[in-house]
Amino acid sequence: MRRREYVALVLPSVLVMFGLLVVPLYRTIEWSLQKVTYGSPGSFAGVSNYTSALTDPRFGRAVVFTVGLTVVATAILVVGGYILACMVNALRRTRPLVLGVLLISYVLPQIVGATMFSWLFDTNFGGVAEYLLHVVTGQEVHWFTSAWPNRIILVLNVVWAALPFAMLMIMAGLQGVSNDMIEAAEIDGVSRIQLHWHVIIPSIKAIVGFVALISIMDILRVFDQLIPLSPQAVQLGNESITLYIYNVAFQNGGQNLGLGSAVNVLLMVIIMIMLSPFIIGLLREARKP
């Protein structure tokens, strides 16, 4: 390929990436150092926005909740995705049908899926899950007004929506595992658990790391699901970082774009910190011959 052709093909993508990523990132960092209101230029405020965010107990609760949700949901996604991938990979004729059913939750818009999911626990819309739980335990659970029950349905919804992606990625990795290696391990008399733990999982370690990386990055930015599933998120302490940004920068006539931008920068730092072990692991895996 000639140099001019290469430039002509690559340049549009570079311009789009620059416009959609670099410019907004620069503007966010610039606003984070300013006091910004709608319709007027910002005035330099130094690091006061960062100081306000780091000293705000509400932001601290949002960080703890978001990180906790991310750790728990990612662990469930990796383990559950692997188990589900193994089960689906063992199917033959029914595999396309099962995959089609499982992918429904993944292709739905998150706000739509979360709204439908909330109906399982809302007696005003049938509340099937709430009804069955009441029949078994005889107790009524306040899913939307109690902190921990609300956290449970948030974790369940995040896992329900993201599990198909984790399953597909891991299943793709399973299909690349050598049958000869599996047969050799079976001839040596290893158990099923040992086969998975010592043979299959090490073979797809890079795929599992990639699933964990994408899951962490997505869940740390959770926002849509909280609107229908946690309408009292602020009062319950179930406010995510992105919902906190929305509330302080836009909600109720708020004009604190500087603080919202500062929290956005802090969120990017948190994402990089949590992703760094997986990025380092993937880079080491890629360097192996």
Q: In whole angstroms, what is the distance from residue 236 CA to residue 230 CA?
A: 9
Strand partners, 56: none
Strand partners, 35: 43
Q: Is 44 helix (H, G, I), strand (E, B) or coil?
A: strand
Q: In whole angstroms, what is the distance from residue 88 CA to residue 85 CA?
A: 5
Q: Work out the percent of the chain whose per-residue pLDDT is above 90.
A: 46
Check pLDDT > 80 for residue 67: yes
pLDDT tens sequence across 120-140: 998 888 889 888 888 888 888
Q: In whole angstroms, what is the distance from residue 32 CA to residue 263 CA?
A: 8
> Whole-structure pTM over 0.85, yes or no?
yes
Asked whether 32 and 260 are in contact (CB, 8 A), the reply is no
Domains and CATH numbers, the chain: 57-287 (1.10.3720.10)
Asked whether 278 and 209 are in contact (CB, 8 A), the reply is yes
pLDDT tens sequence across 163-206: 999 999 999 999 888 888 888 888 878 888 888 888 889 889 88
